[in-house]
């Protein structure tokens, strides 16, 4: 057990079983609640789970295409609210960070975990201001986000400037995740964040710090609902579409690998937004990659059909698996992808191939529609939130 794990777990061990005797009263997500900003940029500590999730594409003079991820998770454990000890871990905070560099050839990633308080970690309730140690994501009074992360392999010092209004997913930010009304989250996105700053990264025997620019996507989601017993995980995309549009889509998979639930929110270049029901959203695997690290198998090339939007997703590189068993406990694939136009009448099965020629990425003369990230969970084992 390392020091960080000890700091996370030792209060519960010291306090004994009485600390966990009374289950907390987790609030439920309900339709009709209007999100209010800037308050809802901040944390919602009474809910069971919450995350701020940033993904993006970067460019430097030496590297024309890089991907990055910075995610902060907050969890309210099943601790008795009546426990008076200031050492009781009433909130747990986790952070995962990653860099996708094709020159390195595999995902570089690091993770942290801590209980809140004692200057170890905090998540403000008034605005986005969350940190675990010296890793931080903050939103300033000027509306710009600032990210500071330093690891042995890479370091981010980014400013992210919003170019568009907040995208409310689902129905005004109420995002269903299953057939029951309570199987839902409050969920908004901020696509097309303009990124600038500096990036330190190492690989292939060299280290360098470079100015960087690009664009990013921020998701903020909170809920008290657990994954349905019939579900094992999800596939998700957040794509910045050319011209200023955006598309968020997800599919929750059942134990047989089929669609348990799905949803999509699309905004066009003029700001018009529409939410699509589950029957109008489909994810179709085109090519599978087997991880040499965990032996998990992921559909790293995917076709996504959502209403009149038809995308073929090609990964920046295959090896973008993130093993966070030392923090959140999950193993998942989190990768930068390019979205190309898929023909409306194209049979998705015809595009799927294990050959090098098609490789699931054979976009031919297809038009590039945008770039973003694809997330694949529940392929290593069932996702436990």
| pLDDT value of position 301 | 98
pLDDT at 330: 82
Compute the distance between CA of residue 369 and CA of residue 66 in angstroms, rounded to an integer: 18
**Which residue matches tokens 């992921």?**
298
Among 303, 305, 296, smallest CA distance to 262 is for 305
- Local confidence band at 8 (pLDDT 50, 70, 90 cut-offs): very low
- Tens digit of each residue's pLDDT (9 = 90 or more) over 38-85: 999 999 999 999 999 999 999 998 888 999 999 999 999 986 565 555
pLDDT reading at 152 higher than 80: yes
pTM: 0.88
Higher pLDDT, 239 or 354: 239
Q: How many Cβ atoms from other residues are within 10 Å of residue 256's Cβ?
A: 9
137 alpha-carbon distance from chain centroid: 14
Q: What is the mean pLDDT of residues 190-198?
A: 98
CB 249 within 8 A of CB 303: no
Catalogue all structural domains in the chain, each as residue range(s) with its CATH number: 41-79+91-376 (2.40.370.10)
């Amino acid at each position: 057990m390392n020091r960080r794990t000890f700091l996370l777990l030792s209060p519960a061990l010291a306090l004994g079983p009485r600390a966990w005797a009374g289950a907390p009263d987790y609030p439920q997500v309900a339709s009709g609640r209007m999100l209010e900003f800037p308050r809802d940029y901040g944390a919602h500590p009474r809910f069971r789970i919450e995350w701020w999730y940033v993904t993006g594409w970067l460019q430097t003079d030496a590297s024309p295409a890089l991907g990055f991820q910075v995610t902060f998770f907050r969890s309210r454990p099943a601790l008795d609210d009546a426990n008076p000890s200031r050492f009781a871990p009433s909130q747990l905070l986790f952070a995962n960070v990653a860099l996708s560099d094709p020159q390195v050839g595999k995902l570089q990633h690091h993770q942290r975990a801590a209980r809140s308080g004692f200057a170890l970690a905090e998540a403000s309730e008034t605005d986005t201001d969350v940190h675990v140690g010296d890793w931080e994501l903050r939103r300033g009074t000027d509306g710009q986000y600032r990210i500071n992360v330093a690891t042995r392999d890479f370091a981010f010092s980014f400013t992210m400037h919003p170019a568009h209004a907040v995208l409310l997913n689902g129905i005004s930010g109420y995002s269903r995740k299953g057939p029951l009304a309570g199987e839902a989250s409050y969920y908004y996105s901020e696509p097309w964040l303009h990124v600038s700053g500096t990036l330190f990264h190492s690989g292939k025997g060299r280290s360098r710090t470079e100015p960087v620019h690009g664009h990013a996507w921020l998701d903020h989601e909170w809920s008290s609902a657990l994954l349905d017993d019939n579900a094992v995980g999800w596939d998700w995309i957040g794509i910045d579409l050319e011209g200023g549009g955006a598309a968020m889509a997800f599919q929750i998979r059942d134990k047989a690998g089929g669609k348990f639930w799905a949803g999509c929110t699309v905004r066009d270049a003029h700001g018009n937004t529409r939410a699509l029901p589950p029957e109008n959203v489909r994810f179709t695997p085109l090519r599978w990659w087997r991880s040499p690290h965990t032996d998990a198998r992921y559909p790293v090339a995917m076709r996504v059909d959502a209403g009149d939007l038809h995308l073929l997703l090609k990964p920046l590189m295959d090896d973008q698996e993130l093993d966070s068993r030392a923090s959140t406990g999950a193993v998942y694939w989190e990768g930068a992808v390019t979205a190309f136009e898929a023909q409306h009448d194209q049979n998705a099965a015809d595009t799927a191939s294990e050959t090098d020629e098609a490789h699931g990425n054979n976009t031919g003369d297809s038009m590039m529609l945008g770039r973003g990230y694809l997330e694949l969970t529940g392929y290593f084992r069932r996702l436990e939130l």
